[in-house]
Structure 1
Amino acid sequence: MTTRTPPSPEALRDLMVDRIRADGWALTPAVEQAMRTIPRHAFVTGHPLENAYGEAAVITKRAGTGAALSCASEPLIVAMMLDQLDVQPGHNILEVGAGTGYNAALLATLTGDGRNVTTVDIDPEVTAGARKNLDATGFEAVTVITRDGTLGDVEHGPYDRLILTVGTWDIPVAWWEQLRPGARIVVPLRWRGQTRSIAFAYTDGRLESDSMQLCGFVPLVGQAGEHTHEATDGVTLTWDTDQNINPSAIGTTLHRGEQASIWSTVTVDGEEPFDGVWLRLTVTDPATCRIRATHEAIDAGICNPAIPALTAALVEDTSIAYLALRRAADDGLWELGATGHGPAATALAERIVNQVKAWDTTRTATPHITVQRRADAHAETGTASGTIAKTHATMTLQYPQGGHVGDR
């Protein structure tokens, strides 16, 4: 009988980075080397080595409800965001969301001096854990602060790079004020119910996007830019504060059972993402929000969104429509369409299908996003397509004619 020797942390780490490279990330030699060097298992203590170097995020703290409060992000997402951030030696860096301290260790390696890295988190238990892990791995020079992340850290600024490892709905005033001219920020930004990791260049008081990737993150504590309420048993809507949505009215509409479905003839296979339709809707239709349905609600015939946990929807007055899927004639493919409920069911469904067809012509295209502080923005906000009002900032989103802005 032979005893199999378990793989070493170094071997597992190399396999992790090899997977990331195969997926097209850790593109720069500096990011690749940092990820091959920093012992991730030392930051997720109490978890098996296979989990530390696996493909999934590792939850390190949960609420009493079971919701994740802090985690070590999926390694591929870590590499993706570091590629987007483009840290150069000597950069002064602010990280919001301390997590386990692993990302701060990577940032310290990339900039060349831990004294150039400050990480802040509102949760003292999280910062204590990050501090302990950083000290144990030789990164004592990294500054760890317990503070509301929306305040940043003016004492150690201004910053050449700002990165968030938590989801944010807004760009608070303090972050703007702590950036150097020519700075770069990477934020998992939420709008219209979905989240994208966006890299922005800070130029002339504006943030201009040049990279955008789908992602999901634990939300930043304390921001109140979104509403999430149950419309009826098993059906939940999420929308932004600049939208006027009455979930109970939509719940009543869904229970009436009247609906209209329109199909696009656009198909996807079982593994092909179509989140770009939702992204396009956020640019073109101010009624865009998010619907979530339990399997019980679907089985009861209340609604049937394309992806039960997160699907784009349009809501106006007492009407709703959402992206839908059905089996295509060609086995193995799915046809995209939309299902509407209420007086404007057909009109709303047609608006979704029009964007499905537009997406089909350039499936990898992403919009260019300009963000300004609200005090500096003069465009009408909250109602115009492609303009979204936040509390402290205004976003303007646009697909250039024939362009593929933001593609990697």
Structure 2
Amino acid sequence: MEGLVDTLMNTTPTSPEDLRARLLDLLTAEGTLTSDRVETAMREVPRHEFVPAASLEEAYADQAVITKRGSDGAALSCASMPSVVAMMLQQLDVRPGQRILEIGAGTGYNAALLAHLTGKEGQVTTVDIDPEVTAAAEKALEATGYGCVHVTTRGGVLGDSEHAPYDRLILTVGAWDLPPAWWDQLAVGGRLVVPLRWRGQTRSVAFVREADSLRSDDVELCGFVPMVGQDGEHDGAIDEGGHVTLYWDTDQPIDPAALREALNQPRAETWSGVTVGPYDSFDGVWLRLTAAEPDTCRIAADATAVETGLCTPAIPVRSPALAEGDSLAYFAVRRLKQEVDGRRSELGAYGHGPAGQQLADRLCDQIRAWDTDRAAQPVITAHRAHTPDDRLPSGRIIDKTSTRLVVAFR
């Protein structure tokens, strides 16, 4: 398989068709693209027509293409990585003749793929809050023969009741909550695929709509531009220089002011005994933490914090942490010196504050739990906000504005 990938990477096609074929051959060879129907759609829909400002090489690389930025340079709209597009369409499992709602029109490319998958007997509606985005998407859809897609400008939290109920609902923007309109417009038995954010990390969750809840059957790592208008995540610096920031959810009693002196206190450390190679993913540790520890949040350290040793998370810009009162611990990694080639590292945690050692120990407990089955996925159920505790399944409850999530490893 590695030889096949190398061969594909070393070819030099120049036409859009050849570039598209090479990309999809690579995604298939890597095991990312597994659905014949999704593969056919991606081979027939010309991605470069939806990102005209990008070069052909950029259009057919496995990378996101930013199509609109804010005044601060932040991405406001983009075409997602083709591998992520494929993954989410496979989660959605579109069938011919279905009615589909897409939240986040983007370039229109994903809506075109959805229209291809549902066919002439189906209906695709895509909505976006930005009129510039919807105008460009509608133009590209018309130009590529997918003018059947209904494009409308409105806040994504409202959905589109005009064409409901939907058999499938997909978001191509990051969501912190699941507003009532999505529940009301998705038919029982339908599927919702959403890049859902909780405890500082985002996962593409494929939910099946049940009578009074949503239940996951697939959870994958992803990252998306956040939806406008969902403000359930807070952030605050925990050092005087503003070099280290915590991100936490509105249901968590985290106070950055109480942590202002924590990093100045002696550092405790715990090492789990769990090791990883240079290409091993360890993002599942964070997912484990969200199901076990109510104080799980995200920590981000800038270059100054890392260079001075003030704070050195495993991934400086985004690592899980536990914050409790005036103490915290965060996920860390160290290279094993005894490895001759230096290619294995050990996972652990650094703690600060009066309870820093205990928090570091608890974080390492979840590293070890993850190590027992690194591929394990939690079951995530979503319930409307008014659902009482005694009607929820067992697991870690995470309260949002419109939704109560329960995350559990069975």
Q: Please give the alpha-carbon distance, in whole angstroms, between the structure 2 residues aligned to 1:166 and 1:321.
A: 30
| Equivalence for 1:140 | 147
| Equivalence for 2:379 | 368
CA deviations 1:291-343 (Å, max 9, x no partner) are 00012111122111111010000000010100111111322111001000000
| Equivalence for 1:354 | 365
| Equivalence for 2:116 | 109
Segments of structure 2 that go 5 or more residues without pairing to the other structure are 1-10
| C-alpha contact (below 8 Å) 1:192/1:288 kept by paired residues | yes
| Equivalence for 1:387 | 397
Over the aligned positions, Cα root-mean-square deviation in angstroms equals: 1.6
Q: Please give the alpha-carbon distance, in whole angstroms, between the structure 2 residues aligned to 1:61 and 1:260.
A: 44
Does 2:288 match 1:277?
Answer: no
| Equivalence for 2:326 | 318
Q: Please give the alpha-carbon distance, in whole angstroms, between the structure 2 residues aligned to 1:28 and 1:47.
A: 27
Q: Of residues 176, 184, 190 in structure 1, which corresponds to 2:191? A: 184
Q: Please give the alpha-carbon distance, in whole angstroms, between the structure 1 residues aligned to 2:367 and 2:160.
A: 43
Matches within 5 A, 1:54-203: 54-113=61-120, 116-203=123-210
AA in 2 matched with 1:302 = L
Q: Of residues 275, 280, 292 in structure 2, which corresponds to 1:267? A: 275
CA deviations 1:220-275 (Å, max 9, x no partner) are 10001100222222111100000011113223211x23110011111101221111
Report the TM-score when normalising by structure 2.
0.93
| C-alpha contact (below 8 Å) 1:377/1:394 kept by paired residues | no
Q: Please give the alpha-carbon distance, in whole angstroms, between the structure 1 residues aligned to 2:121 and 2:111.
A: 8
| C-alpha contact (below 8 Å) 1:263/1:337 kept by paired residues | yes
| Equivalence for 2:213 | 206
CA deviations 1:59-79 (Å, max 9, x no partner) are 000111111100000000000
SS of the residue 2:238 aligns to: strand
Q: Of residues 321, 342, 345 in structure 2, which corresponds to 1:334? A: 345
| C-alpha contact (below 8 Å) 2:197/2:203 kept by paired residues | yes
SS of the residue 2:247 aligns to: strand
| C-alpha contact (below 8 Å) 1:285/1:385 kept by paired residues | no
Aligned-pair CA distance for 1:27 = 1.8
AA in 1 matched with 2:284 = G
SS of the residue 1:376 aligns to: coil
Distance 1:128 1:59, change over 3 A: same
Q: Of residues 277, 280, 286 in structure 1, which corresponds to 2:294? A: 286
Q: Please give the alpha-carbon distance, in whole angstroms, between the structure 1 residues aligned to 2:186 and 2:166.
A: 5
Aligned-pair CA distance for 1:149 = 0.1
SS of the residue 1:274 aligns to: coil
Does 2:260 match 1:251?
Answer: yes
Aligned-pair CA distance for 1:385 = 6.1
How many equivalent pairs are there?
394
Q: Please give the alpha-carbon distance, in whole angstroms, between the structure 2 residues aligned to 1:385 and 1:228.
A: 26
Segments of structure 1 that go 5 or more residues without pairing to the other structure are 401-408
Does 2:403 match 1:396?
Answer: no
Distance 1:385 1:368, change over 3 A: closer
**Which of structure 1's runs of 4+ aligned residues deviate more than 4 A?**
none
| C-alpha contact (below 8 Å) 2:58/2:65 kept by paired residues | yes
| Equivalence for 2:5 | none
Report the TM-score when normalising by structure 1.
0.94
| C-alpha contact (below 8 Å) 2:176/2:198 kept by paired residues | yes
| Equivalence for 1:406 | none
CA deviations 1:129-167 (Å, max 9, x no partner) are 101110111111111111000000000111000000000
Q: Please give the alpha-carbon distance, in whole angstroms, between the structure 2 residues aligned to 1:163 and 1:128.
A: 20
Q: Please give the alpha-carbon distance, in whole angstroms, between the structure 1 residues aligned to 2:101 and 2:12.
A: 41
